[in-house]
Amino acid sequence: MTRRVFLSSPLALAPLASPAGRQWPLGINTYCLRFQRWNDRRLFDYCSNHKLDAIFLQDSLDAGVMDPKHWAEVRAWSKDMGLHLETGGGAILPRTAADYPNIIATLRKNIERAAAMGSPIVRALLASDRYSLPEGSVERHIETAVKILREVRGPVMDAGLKIGIENHKELQAWETRLLIETAGKEFVGSYLDTGNPVFVAEDPLTTVEELGPYAVTFHLRDSVIYEHPDGIAVQWVPLGEGTVDFKALIARASQILPPVHIYCKPITARPPVVIPAYSTEFWNKWFPRARSRDLVRFLALAKRGRPYDKPHLTADVPALRERYMGALQIQQMDHMERSLDYCKRVLSLGVRWR
């Protein structure tokens, strides 16, 4: 069997024996290089040059992003370079009843695109954050999401795919798990992300334990989490430079996740955000059914944390982004390189770079 054939075969997904546990095939999430404004081919070349095993095309900026001819090109690049490919779309909760048909149509198109590119999954999420949720209770939003997902069950199953629901900044992990189980775990799974949990006052280890058995893809992002007079402050930082114990997290993931690809996903250049974790209004409005043990674990994590003390341009905000784009591009590349080095050298992730 040639190396190219191996990397495109199911064997490439299987955990490999190593002193630290399974060997995870490693890729990057391309959203983390969005400031470079590269087309899909340049992103593939980047992954190939870094001897990665996979690429997750998220929020592609390519001019042919919705062109079926480009989908065929991407599939061919994936095969030729021996890079496992995953992709998908965005939020699926309609803001109003009038938006519902368009949401279904977009989701169907994303399923078609993923299948044509050779992705085994279709990324989706409910909303960008809890403040972007439509009016109504969390229970109602979960019911709506289940209804939407079941409407596309047939095309997903026919294509041999799964929809990967990203735990974003709107639900806690146990709520995302409930959504997956209610919709149907035969065609819905977890796009497991370690960066978003801190925005819903959750330790990423809790997220891994809740959603790990349903994971269809696994994305690593680090955060500093620390105490603040108004609650708990959180900020995304390069991998290995935050509060999260990734050695313990990967060890736990190795015990409970099925064979999936793991992706380096550093999103930086954003200022700290304070979670009002001691506010009754915060819990009553957003997470009235939150579990006390999860909050205790999150607060213990914050007690161990400290603010980020390395030079860091925090200009990824609407008023500053374009003005400082050149500097953001340089920093983004540096943070990706540092994060990849941490994944390889410290966490021992990846196969073909060795």
Tens of pLDDT, residue by residue, the chain (354 residues): 433 343 344 434 343 333 347 899 999 999 999 999 999 999 999 999 999 999 999 999 999 999 999 999 999 999 999 999 999 999 999 999 999 999 999 999 999 999 999 999 999 999 999 999 999 999 999 999 999 999 999 999 999 999 999 999 999 999 999 999 999 999 999 999 999 999 999 999 999 999 999 999 999 999 999 999 999 999 999 999 999 999 999 999 999 999 999 999 999 999 999 999 999 999 999 999 999 999 999 999 999 999 999 999 999 999 999 999 999 999 999 999 999 999 999 999 999 999
- Please report whether residue 352 resides in a domain: no
Cα dist. 14→6, 24, 193, 343 in Å? 11, 8, 21, 19
Both structure tokens of 198:
């801190």
Residue 276 within any structural domain of the chain? yes
Beta strands in 48-187 (DSSP E): 54-57, 84-91, 121-125, 162-166
CA angle 340–122–108, rounded 5-degree value:
150
| Owning domain of residue 13 | 3-346
Dihedral Cα 341, 346, 348, 349, nearest 10 deg: -50
Q: Is residue 112 in some structural domain? A: yes
Note whether 143 and 106 are within 8 A (CB).
no
Structure tokens at 181: 């189980």
Is position 122 within any domain? yes
Outline where DSSP puts E strands in the chain.
26-29, 54-57, 84-91, 121-125, 162-166, 188-193, 215-220, 222-228, 231-237, 262-264, 273-275
Read off the CATH number of the domain in which 180 is found.
Answer: 3.20.20.150
Is residue 304 situated within a structural domain? yes
CA distances 193 to 17, 129, 346, Å, are 24, 14, 19
354: in domain: no
Domain assignment present for residue 232? The answer is yes
**How many domains, in total, are found in the chain?**
1
